């Protein structure tokens, strides 16, 4: 009789066979440590559950889930910017779908080593900007510090508020062939990647939700909780206002800045948002100046203050250094902290660590030789082929290492001679470093696993109770087997990091405990720059809607009219060209070409691609204040319009496409109407929309209502979405007076000109800074005159001249609003001004 096989054993055997099938063809790179399998080819224990789950899903299901993750990231607007990219530089976030898995025992050792290294870096910075004992004793050459452009003399002798230079520290680490972790570089300037690490976690948790819970993956929220607590503790004003200082939307990691500001509850600020008065930093808001007591800096320190640091900076805040010295503001990390990132210091850190901490470093860093010393310089020249030759202080060394670090053996004869000469003549600017063979982790490629080199960045935050290490990190994975390509700018990818705990992980949240919640109905004053962008987002969205209505109406008329025929078609073409949505050189004999141009050309200021991209760019600046659904609506609209229009069915396809796009914009309007609190941000968004809609209505009425011909009044009703209302009131064909009354003067028609002006008057009356006992400002007086004109005339008196006057006044009102509430004081020029 055959031996009986237990069900559990049978299940294990099936799982093992499925894992073996998944590992088929997986070949670890020779001479490097592999995270997935050991030297005998066995799967490491902490990876087995993940592989078993993937095997159970099957290749098709895994591919489906990972593709859904990519779509989620794109539709959520997760991106990074590639500098010097001729295509605009903004690229979807490239995620490597498999997480890096680290077991609890190994993680505890890493945690201890990183906390120790953060303490060492803090001690080094305190000494460099304080007593300078390291340089006085000879433990650290003065040239290795003073040669760095990140050593900022205005900070010498300054005691940062809170007593520490570092609030956030990060280390890039890699594992060598022997299995040991090594510090590859330190990040003390303004470490980036924590926000992307959080987004990676959310994205992969959507793809593998049950697995993330069952494996006891440690949560990241505790790290951000400690980080936020450490920063808010620095607030002395009692207002609790913490700002995240960003270089702006052109920075490569701007998405992360906006994402973190929203997640942590901080105010996203640019340098132009801030001003210094009496050594105190204030943010310009629509309600006046409001104090900011703490700044989380994501701006390189040299650009922080054009008065005392880089005078060419347009990103910083004049007077910020004096405010720091006087204690008027806390900046994290401290200005000048970036000096500790210099590779020149890395060769001295092991000895310095033992000196300042009284113990040997737990985590070693890669061997580094600064060529500013004779013995080290000669060693680098002797071992040139085996070393990485790198700039000593910055990412590049112009004229020598223009593209950054290089491996000596990879240089041709001419470049080798040039670099060797530079080492001899300007060795202070160059280091030699050990070439590390990075370990590999599995990635999912074409339905199978492949090994790829990676670098792991782990973050440490100074909180109220000491240092807290993020139980995870920002893992960058090479797209090739070349370990030198592990950068996001160079085409690498990013992976989530799962640290497995032995016990179930308790939920962690950044929300306050129920007993300590202070009731609030305001989110704080709106920065002027944010108000500016809300206003223009409203204008761009409404302008896109007007263009879509024009195109849908034109496409509908072309489908039912002989090509090029009909007075209404001719007037619509006039509008489209005046709108800037179609080129003047397109023949009137082929009006469908106008439609195609307006739907596809990016070089026309009134065409849909240009308007939707302008809306997305404007929305990206206020990402921290927009709902994810609103952002996804704009992203979906851009994707829809990017689809090619078949030439054979241009008219019907264009009609269907514009109709779908209008529904998408209606969804955006609905989200703004139903989901946004009726605070200043919503009011400026609606102000922009009302001004734009009013201008468009005037333009439509001037073109189609003056001396109307057959069908033009019906077109006017269609463009103003008022056909149903007109038909329900008047059982008659279109007549000029009732049509103009409905689209211009009817106060209950949400598409009428009068309705837009009444809404403008109401918004201006309740905006912050409105003082009822003082004479009204210019924008309120102008809005009141417009409202009065709507009541003083009947529809037949609105001829071309009067409608043109109302258009002009609406554009003046836009300028007056900008002058009063926004940062930029010059008049705002718009394409509408060219259409008058």
Q: Write the DSSP symbol of residue 373.
A: S
**Beta strand pairing call for 79-81 and 280-285:** unpaired
Q: What is the three-class DSSP state of 250?
A: coil
Q: What is the mean pLDDT of the chain?
A: 86
**240 vs 803: which has the higher pLDDT:** 803
- Is the predicted pLDDT of residue 751 greater than 80, yes or no? yes
Least confident of 123-127, 455-459, 723-727: 723-727
Q: Using one digit for the tens of pLDDT, what is the confidence trace for 29-83?
A: 888 999 999 988 889 999 988 998 888 888 899 999 999 988 888 877 787 776 5
**Could you give the percent of the chain with pLDDT greater than 70?**
89
pLDDT at 746: 93
675 with 627: CB under 8 angstroms?
yes
Q: Using one digit for the tens of pLDDT, what is the confidence trace for 559-591?
A: 765 444 477 888 888 888 888 888 876 555 577
116 with 362: CB under 8 angstroms?
yes
Alpha-carbon radius of gyration of the chain: 31
List, as one string, the DSSP characters of 564-604: T--HHHHHHHHHHHHTTSS-TTS-TT-THHHHHHHHH-SSS
**665 vs 828: which has the higher pLDDT:** 665
State the virtual CA torsion across 708, 712, 718, 721 in degrees, nearest 10.
-10
Query: Closest Cα to residue 246, out of 620, 592, 554, 605?
Result: 620
Give the residue carrying structure tokens 């703490």.
294
Least confident of 63-77, 311-325, 408-422: 63-77
In sequence order, the β-bridge partners of residue 376 are: none
Query: Closest Cα to residue 93, out of 82, 75, 78?
Result: 78
- Global pTM reads 0.85
pLDDT at 651: 67
Identity of the highest mean pLDDT range in 3-12, 502-511, 747-756: 747-756
799 with 706: CB under 8 angstroms?
yes
- Is the predicted pLDDT of residue 368 greater than 50, yes or no? yes
Structure tokens at 823: 């940062």
Least confident of 25-39, 53-67, 85-99, 367-381: 85-99
List, as one string, the DSSP characters of 511-561: SPPGGGPPP-S---PPBHHHHHHHHHHHHHHHHHHHHHHHHHHHHHHHHTS
- Is the predicted pLDDT of residue 697 greater than 80, yes or no? yes
From CA 200, how far away is CA 196, in angstroms rounded? 6
CA quadruple 123, 124, 129, 131: dihedral sign: positive
Under 8 Å CB-to-CB from 22, ≥6 apart: which residues? 51, 54, 55, 448, 449
- Is the predicted pLDDT of residue 513 greater than 50, yes or no? yes
- Is the predicted pLDDT of residue 289 greater than 60, yes or no? yes
Q: Predicted confidence band at 519 (pLDDT cuts at 50, 70, 90)?
A: low
Q: What separation, in Å, do the N-terminal and C-terminal C-alpha atoms of the chain show?
A: 97
pLDDT at 776: 86
pLDDT at 835: 37
**Chain centroid, CA 683 distance in Å:** 24
- Is the predicted pLDDT of residue 698 greater than 90, yes or no? yes
pLDDT at 85: 56
State the virtual CA torsion across 754, 755, 759, 762 in degrees, nearest 10.
70
pLDDT at 601: 86
- Is the predicted pLDDT of residue 247 greater than 60, yes or no? yes
In sequence order, the β-bridge partners of residue 462 are: 467
Structure tokens at 117: 């290294």
Mean pLDDT of 747-763: 95
Neighbours of 734 (CB within 10 A): 19
From CA 602, how far away is CA 642, in angstroms rounded? 11
Structure tokens at 282: 């204030």
- Is the predicted pLDDT of residue 690 greater than 90, yes or no? yes
Least confident of 62-66, 331-335, 635-639: 635-639
Give the residue carrying structure tokens 């040997």.
360
Neighbours of 396 (CB within 10 A): 13
From CA 778, how far away is CA 782, in angstroms rounded? 6
Q: Predicted confidence band at 511 (pLDDT cuts at 50, 70, 90)?
A: low
- Is the predicted pLDDT of residue 750 greater than 70, yes or no? yes
Strand order in the sheet with 280-285: 274-277, 280-285, 288-291
Burial bucket for residue 689 (CB in 10 Å: 0-12, 13-18, 19+):
buried
From CA 571, how far away is CA 581, in angstroms rounded? 14
Mean pLDDT of 596-620: 88
Q: Predicted confidence band at 87 (pLDDT cuts at 50, 70, 90)?
A: low
- Is the predicted pLDDT of residue 828 greater than 80, yes or no? no
Mean pLDDT of 203-227: 90
From CA 736, how far away is CA 578, in angstroms rounded? 23
**649 vs 777: which has the higher pLDDT:** 777
Phi, psi of 458 (to 5 degrees): -115, 140
Q: What is the three-class DSSP state of 359?
A: coil
From CA 300, how far away is CA 191, in angstroms rounded? 10
**Beta strand pairing call for 368-370 and 288-291:** unpaired
**Could you give the percent of the chain with pLDDT greater than 90?**
55
Three-class HEC string of 426-471: CHHHEEEEECCCCCEEEEEECCEEEEEEEEEEEEEEEECCEEEECC
- Is the predicted pLDDT of residue 134 greater than 90, yes or no? yes
Under 8 Å CB-to-CB from 203, ≥6 apart: which residues? 69, 72, 73, 78, 95, 496
pLDDT at 649: 61
From CA 550, how far away is CA 567, in angstroms rounded? 15
């Amino acid at each position: 009789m055959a031996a009986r096989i237990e069900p559990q054993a049978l299940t294990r055997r099936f799982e093992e066979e499925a894992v073996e099938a998944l590992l088929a063809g997986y070949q670890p790179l020779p001479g490097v440590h592999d995270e997935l399998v050991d030297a005998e080819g066995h799967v490491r224990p902490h990876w087995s559950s993940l592989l078993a789950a993937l095997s159970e899903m099957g290749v098709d299901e895994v591919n489906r889930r990972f593709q859904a993750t990519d779509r989620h990231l794109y539709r959520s607007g997760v991106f990074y910017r590639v500098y010097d990219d001729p295509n605009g530089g903004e690229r979807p976030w490239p995620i490597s779908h498999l997480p890096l898995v680290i077991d609890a025992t190994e993680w505890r050792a890493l945690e201890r080593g990183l906390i120790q290294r953060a303490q060492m870096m803090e001690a080094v910075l305190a000494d460099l900007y304080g007593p300078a004992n390291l340089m006085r004793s000879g433990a650290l050459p003065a040239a290795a510090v003073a040669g760095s452009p990140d050593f900022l003399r205005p900070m010498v002798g300054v005691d940062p508020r809170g007593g520490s230079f570092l609030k956030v520290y990060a280390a890039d680490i890699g594992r060598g062939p022997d299995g040991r972790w090594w510090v590859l570089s330190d990040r003390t300037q303004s470490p980036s990647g924590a926000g992307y690490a959080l987004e990676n976690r959310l994205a992969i948790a959507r793809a593998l939700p049950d697995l993330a819970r069952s494996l006891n993956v440690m949560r990241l929220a505790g790290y951000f909780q400690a980080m936020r607590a450490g920063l808010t503790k620095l607030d002395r004003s009692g207002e609790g206002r913490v700002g995240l200082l960003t270089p702006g939307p052109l920075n490569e990691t701007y998405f992360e800045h906006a994402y973190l500001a929203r997640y942590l509850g901080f105010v996203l600020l640019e340098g132009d948002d801030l001003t210094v008065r009496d050594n105190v930093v204030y943010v310009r808001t629509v309600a006046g100046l409001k104090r900011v007591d703490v700044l989380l800096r994501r701006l390189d320190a040299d650009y922080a203050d054009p008065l005392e640091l880089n005078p060419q900076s347009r990103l910083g805040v004049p007077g910020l250094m004096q405010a720091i010295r006087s204690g008027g503001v806390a900046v994290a990390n401290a200005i000048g902290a970036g000096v500790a990132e210099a590779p020149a210091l890395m060769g001295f850190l092991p000895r310095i660590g033992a000196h300042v901490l009284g113990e040997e470093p737990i985590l070693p860093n890669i061997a580094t030789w600064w060529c500013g010393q004779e013995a080290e310089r000669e060693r680098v020249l002797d071992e040139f082929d085996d070393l990485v030759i790198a700039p000593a202080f910055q990412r590049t060394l112009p004229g020598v290492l223009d593209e950054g670090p290089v491996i000596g053996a990879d240089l041709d004869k001419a470049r080798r001679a040039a670099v060797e000469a530079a080492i001899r003549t300007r060795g202070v600017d160059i280091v030699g470093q050990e070439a590390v063979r990075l370990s590999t982790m599995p990635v999912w490629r074409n339905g199978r696993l492949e090994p790829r080199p990676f670098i792991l960045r782990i973050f440490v935050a100074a909180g109220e109770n000491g240092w807290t290490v993020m139980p995870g990190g920002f893992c960058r994975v090479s797209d090739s087997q070349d370990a030198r390509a592990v950068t996001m700018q160079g085409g690498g990818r990013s992976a989530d990091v799962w640290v497995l705990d032995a016990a179930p992980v308790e939920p962690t949240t950044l929300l306050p405990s129920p007993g300590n919640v202070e009731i609030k109905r305001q989110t704080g004053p709106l920065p002027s720059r944010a108000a500016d962008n809300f206003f223009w987002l409203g204008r761009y969205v409404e302008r896109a809607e007007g263009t879509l209505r024009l195109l849908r109406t034109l496409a509908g008329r072309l489908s039912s009219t002989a090509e090029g025929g009909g007075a209404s078609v001719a007037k619509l073409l006039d509008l489209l060209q005046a709108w800037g949505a179609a080129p003047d050189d397109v023949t009137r004999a082929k009006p469908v070409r106008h439609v195609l141009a307006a739907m596809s050309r990016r070089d026309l200021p009134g065409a849909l691609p240009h308007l939707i991209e302008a809306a997305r760019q404007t929305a990206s600046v206020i990402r921290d204040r927009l709902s994810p659904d609103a952002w996804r609506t704009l992203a979906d609209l851009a994707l829809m319009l990017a689809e090619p229009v078949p030439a054979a069915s241009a008219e019907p396809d264009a009609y269907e496409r514009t109709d779908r796009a209008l529904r998408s914009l209606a969804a955006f309007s609905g989200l703004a109407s139903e989901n946004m609190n009726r605070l200043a941000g919503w009011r400026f968004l609606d102000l922009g929309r009302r001004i734009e809609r009013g201008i468009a209505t005037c333009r439509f009425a001037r073109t189609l209502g003056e001396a109307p011909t057959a069908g033009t009044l019906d077109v006017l009703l269609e463009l103003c979405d008022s056909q149903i209302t007109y038909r329900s009131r008047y059982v008659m064909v279109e007549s000029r007076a009732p049509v103009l009354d409905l689209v211009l003067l009817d106060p209950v028609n949400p598409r009428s000109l009068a309705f837009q002006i009444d809404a403008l008057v109401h918004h201006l009356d309740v905006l912050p800074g409105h003082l009822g006992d003082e004479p009204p400002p210019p924008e309120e007086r102008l809005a009141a005159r417009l409202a009065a004109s709507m009541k003083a005339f009947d529809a037949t008196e609105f001829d071309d001249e009067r409608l043109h006057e109302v258009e002009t006044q609406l554009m003046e009102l836009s300028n007056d609003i900008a002058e009063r509430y926004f940062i930029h004081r010059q008049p705002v020029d718009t394409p509408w001004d060219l259409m008058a």
